Amino acid sequence: MLEVGTKAPEFTLMDQNGTPVSLSDFLGKKVVLYFYPKDSTPGCTRQACAFAEHYDSFARREVAVIGISKDSVGSHLKFAEKYHLPFVLLSDPEHQVIEAYGAWQEKKLYGKVSMGTVRCTYLIDTRGCIEAVMPKVKPDTNAADILAYLGAQA
């Protein structure tokens, strides 16, 4: 995982509409950058829907929300449409950005070890530096926890 105070690695990935999006597009705004394993799975759906539910609260604070997984642009589009997700989902099929942010890790499931995306979140400040690191976040409370953090900073 990256450390608080370090410069967030720059990237450009395609969003759910096939439009290139760069982290630098958001300079001057805070950014919630959350990494998740897979579209339309139970935990990832709950996490995305929680961000959608709290989206207006993020928007009022001028905080952008970006979700990243290795799913395809088409998968992201279906996911966003099905659950009415109002924020950006970025496709990282080669997991280069996922790796750059330390979210590509060894996982164990039913005794089987494999590499995959771990659920974690970064808050990036208006200058593009890591303000907060949240490893092993819970899908149901991730959005609310970030809002509570932002409220404490106000």
Architecture of domain 14-153 in this structure: 3-Layer(aba) Sandwich (3.40)
Q: Which of 60, 73, 69 is closest to 120 using CA atoms?
A: 69
Q: What is the SS3 string spanning 46-64?
A: HHHHHHHHCHHHHHHCCEE
Q: How confident is the model at residue 25 (pLDDT cuts 50, 70, 90)?
A: very high
Q: Is 120 a catalytic residue?
A: no
93 in helix, strand or coil? coil
Alpha-carbon span 56 to 119, nearest angstrom = 23
User: Among residues 44, 49, 120, 129, which one is catalytic?
Assistant: 44
Domain boundaries, the chain: 14-153
pLDDT one-digit tens code per residue, 35-65: 999 999 999 999 999 999 999 999 999 999 9
Tokens of 88: 């950006």
What pLDDT is stored for residue 110 in this prediction? 86
